[in-house]
Structure 1
Amino acid sequence: MKKTLPLLLLLYFFVQCNTVSKQNTHYQTLIPAPKLQADVAFAYKQLQKLHPNLYLYSSKWTLDHQFDSLKNTITTPMTPLAFFKKISPVVAAVKQGHLFVQAPRIKYTKKQTKALLQKGIGPLSQFDFEYLDHKLYLLKNNSQDSTILVGSEVISINRTKPNELIDQYSNYYASDGFNTTFKTRGNGARFTTFFTIENGIQDSLTYVLKYRDSLKTSTIKRFKKETKTTQNKKTNTPKKQTNHAQKAKKVRQKKRIQGYDPATAQYMRNIRFLEKDSSIAVLKIRGFKNKAYRRFYKETFEKIKQYQTKNLILDLRDNGGGRLSEISDLYAYLSDTTFVFLEPSEVVSRSQFFNGSYYNGGSFVLKILKTILSPAYYSYLLCTIHKKDNGKSYFATETKKRQANTNAFRGKVYVLINGLSFSASSILSSNLKGSKRAFFVGQETGGAYNGTVAGVMPTFKLPYSKLKIRTGLMHVVPFYKTSVVGHGIYPDHEILPTLQDRIQHIDPELNWILKDIKKAH
């Protein structure tokens, strides 16, 4: 056994290195035109099999024409990246924000990734960016060059003009329907991804920056932050050790309940009370995912009731979505009456939903285990997916009538939204808006009012280019809908933060609500 384990580890390392090497070689390979044409046909056929309501925003004639035209324009061999740039706009023409082609990127082994992390922070990650009026600005400077001023416009990075790169990549993905705020609000954050796809991970970049009328060129290199280490020579007493263990336990519990995200070092859920009398509460939800959300909402609304809070501000800005069960539970704390949260979700068919969701992804061993358990899962689908008189199949989730929670908030609700309020956060907003339970402040949501195709989102791989396409399997529709097709939830009071607001960390949307509350009193 002692000899076997090292051999297995060595074999695993060799297989991983070989797999990564093959993938990276493939991404540099020219693929013949007939094979790429076959990939186009395969992609469209898979979307027709898996994606419900495929022609909601673009007609069948339009998509047929676009996919046929794409095949006809492919006459020469291409690399996977070049093919990605051809097929992505056509897939984006479906106009569903959860549907997109994943860009091919250089892969790294675990050893290579570890070595890269040990070298420190990359030259892109040392800045926070904001994209306003077709210009990219620096919002935060974490580099070693202290002469770079926050608010500087990025003219170029290694001769790449940000606005041209962002305009190009904006064609490669879609928002829900005809919405534009999903892109305009998110392009600053997405810029680093766009740049990395084009240029790979770099250790050094040359920035040309403009501040007012002055131009500045600065070369930013990868660097490792120094960490201070202190040695405690004193022996900890048993009492101190106990206190430390108790504190560590509390931190772990907080991370579990509030949903700590190590990638951003932020909690998914936060509640804070304003004013001495706690008459105003701000509930910030960054995403409907991670850990014990039921306990968080139970404890939060118990506090709100105990403190006799009169105004609740629900902050859904930059919330990209998550679990349907979580938003349904949260709505039960906000609704003032019995409610139905969702309409039945349309799927292409029970069998296609089964094939697309159940067997997608996973290792060889996992797929064997899934095969053994597949009768149980299919039995579950027999109870939840039914064909209606219109010939379409529907998945029943969060469709039953529910009572408002006994600790439901009865005061005034404000909701903060912007272009990155997407998916589940838009579904929640639709029902709050339609039921007239909340007053909305900010910017039109990136997610559509009338729902989105998401729920279960597998990926499928194209046979020759090996590009992956992610698609939703359920057309998730809120109970409340609007006659305005293909747009998000519009705010009752629109506020668009300026560049100076961003730089100075001023929150004009929240400030407006606080003034509105004071006016009411």
Structure 2
Amino acid sequence: MKIKATLRLVSLFISLSYQISLAQVLTPAQTRTDLSYLKRKLDLLHPGMGYYTPQARMEQLYDSLYNHLNSPTDYLSFYHHISPLVAAIKDGHTNLNHRKNYIGKYTRFLPFYIRLVESQYFISHNVSSDTTLQRGTELLTINGRPVADVHRELMNADHSGSDGDNLTGRRQWSMVQFADYYAAWFGSADSIQITYQLIGDSLVRKTRLRCLTLDSFRARIQRRYGVELDRRPNLSVRTVDTLTHTAVLRVSTFMGTKKKDPFQWGFNRRLKRAFKQIRQENVQNLVIDMQGNGGGIVVNSARLLRYWMQKPFRIMDHEEMKRAARTELVTRWNPFSALNFSLQYRADNSGGFASRSSNRRYRPRHRDSFSGNLYFLVNGASFSATTTVLAKTLDAGLGTYVGEASGSAYWGDFAGHFKTITLPNSRLQVRIPLKKLTHAVETERANGFTVEPDFIVTRSFDDLMNNRDYILDYTLRLIREGIVIRPGVDKQPIRNRALQASR
């Protein structure tokens, strides 16, 4: 009994400490110091300042934000206050994050997943104690606000995973991770009040739901929806239609399989096994599922491209960084860092540094290469190194793209190396990319700012109710109809055929 009482007291003490830390109030001097520190670091390090938003506009925004910091500000309000400066860069790799442990084991999250069908929001997975909120329940308001307004605010506050004015990445990430975005922006809440309509019922109902900790959330998702969870390993292959010789290659990430694998041999081995299987099974239509692939290591994207590119190719045309970025990569505690930097980078005409390896050429693989029809499943969360694969393939005149626009720009992005800075008083963290990566692609071959789909596919209510992979479903119908947009060299494109079966 004493042990249990002691544990309860410890838990209560930690919880109270957590609540006190959330209520931190910053003085005007502290907030101004933090904001000026952030602006100085962005100007010194970020290679994209002024790229999507003119520098003059950035200066005006900074001055306005700075001048309005004239009274004590609580921590979360300050987070909201500086968010527009980070968002205005319009770079999906630049992230404003809470201080360490702000989001933790005591944070409570909304107890459901929601999905968008046209302009309506529906609960797709419910982990609350109220089991009447079944899949297909339309969610109308949260704490008195229309869900559409809440979602719009979350999208506008965070540009993570979406470059420029592209909306698909912001829409996708903020929808899939709605509970996380909500907790980060509005803070942890013990409960929320919602209004909703059950399926086939016009009555607007109201209830209050208790929010869950992350551990409780995960446990209930597993218990209630475990059979629906996507457990496909990265680079796994499955045959989905023997009649049309169609298989799906799932590429969920370009990160390596192990932390301690600097040469990415594990990823390469899996890739080889996958394409050996594809050849052995005589696959003629290969669906590359890159939905939700947020990117990873560029060399792994090049390794994938080698299996269908028909000529030697470069991934990047330019890789460059500002002069101050060198101090972030060369450290005193590592005596080899200066030598390593000199081997990888050279001074350029702008006063910064350019990569020596951007001219590296990759040779197509001959063994187990694929020469059939390529179909790419894409959504807004197909970002960074994933868009690199898509852009290079489009530039080569290959592939049929299905879904929605990718999250990154066709031309390239700001990534490569990163520096996470911590603001001195609030302890907020900002991740800043250090390199500008320009794809080795022809601009006239772009089909939009991002890589745009040949066939735009959106979720229907029936897709929601059946938890259907609607982009894959649509693609398989394209294949059965023989519709190919870019079939490759010496093959004529079929552009004018519509699906015979209506959706």
What TM-score comes out, normalization by structure 1 length?
Answer: 0.77
Q: Give matches, 1:109-188, under 5 Å.
A: 113=105, 124-125=110-111, 127-133=112-118, 135-159=120-144, 161-174=146-159, 175-188=162-175
**Matched AA of 2:88:** A
Residue 20 (structure 1) shift: 9.9
**Matched AA of 1:353:** A
1:55 to 45, 50, 58: 50
Alignment partner of 1:195 is 2:182: yes
Q: Give matches, 1:297-376, under 5 Å.
A: 297-349=271-323, 352-357=324-329, 371-372=332-333, 374-376=334-336
**Matched AA of 2:72:** P
Q: Which residue of 2 aligns with 1:233?
A: none
Contact 1:158 1:206 in 2 (8 A): yes
Q: Which residue of 1 aligns with 2:204?
A: 215
Q: Give matches, 1:422-501, under 5 Å.
A: 422-482=383-443, 487-501=449-463
Q: Which residue of 2 aligns with 1:285?
A: 251
Q: Which moved more, 1:310-319 or 1:267-276?
A: 267-276
The 1-side partners of 2:16 and 2:329 are apart by: 29
Q: Which residue of 2 aligns with 1:232?
A: none
**Alignment partner of 1:472: what SS?**
strand
Residue 397 (structure 1) shift: 4.6
Residue 399 (structure 1) shift: 3.7
Residue 282 (structure 1) shift: 0.6
Contact 1:131 1:185 in 2 (8 A): no
Deviations 1:102-142 (A, max 9, x none): 13586488xxx4xx69xxxx7734x2211345543201234
Q: Which residue of 2 aligns with 1:249?
A: none
**Matched AA of 1:281:** A
**Alignment partner of 1:289: what SS?**
coil
Cα distance change on mapping 1:481 and 1:464 into 2, 3 Å: farther
Q: Which residue of 2 aligns with 1:3?
A: none
Q: Give matches, 1:234-253, under 5 Å.
A: none
**Alignment partner of 1:457: what SS?**
strand
**Alignment partner of 2:439: what SS?**
coil
Alignment partner of 1:30 is 2:25: yes
Higher helix share: 1
Deviations 1:125-168 (A, max 9, x none): 4x221134554320123445332231112223444543333222
**Alignment partner of 2:417: what SS?**
coil
Residue 200 (structure 1) shift: 4.4
Q: Which residue of 1 aligns with 2:6?
A: none
Structure 1: 5+ residue runs without aligned partners? 1-13, 227-262, 360-370
The 2-side partners of 1:520 and 1:98 are apart by: 38
The 1-side partners of 2:196 and 2:110 are apart by: 14
Identity of aligned residues (%): 22
Contact 1:442 1:494 in 2 (8 A): yes
What TM-score comes out, normalization by structure 2 length?
Answer: 0.80
The 2-side partners of 1:151 and 1:276 are apart by: 33
Residue 203 (structure 1) shift: 5.3
The 1-side partners of 2:464 and 2:358 are apart by: 38
Cα distance change on mapping 1:107 and 1:495 into 2, 3 Å: closer
Cα distance change on mapping 1:336 and 1:454 into 2, 3 Å: same
Q: Which residue of 2 aligns with 1:366?
A: none
Residue 335 (structure 1) shift: 1.0
The 2-side partners of 1:358 and 1:436 are apart by: 40
Q: Give matches, 1:247-266, under 5 Å.
A: none
Structure 2: 5+ residue runs without aligned partners? 1-9, 221-228, 258-265, 484-503
Q: Which moved more, 1:430-439 or 1:181-190?
A: 181-190
**Matched AA of 2:398:** R
**Matched AA of 2:110:** L
Contact 1:131 1:187 in 2 (8 A): no
The 1-side partners of 2:293 and 2:357 are apart by: 22
Q: Which residue of 2 aligns with 1:267?
A: 233
Contact 2:28 2:71 in 1 (8 A): yes
Contact 2:254 2:297 in 1 (8 A): yes
Contact 1:81 1:104 in 2 (8 A): no
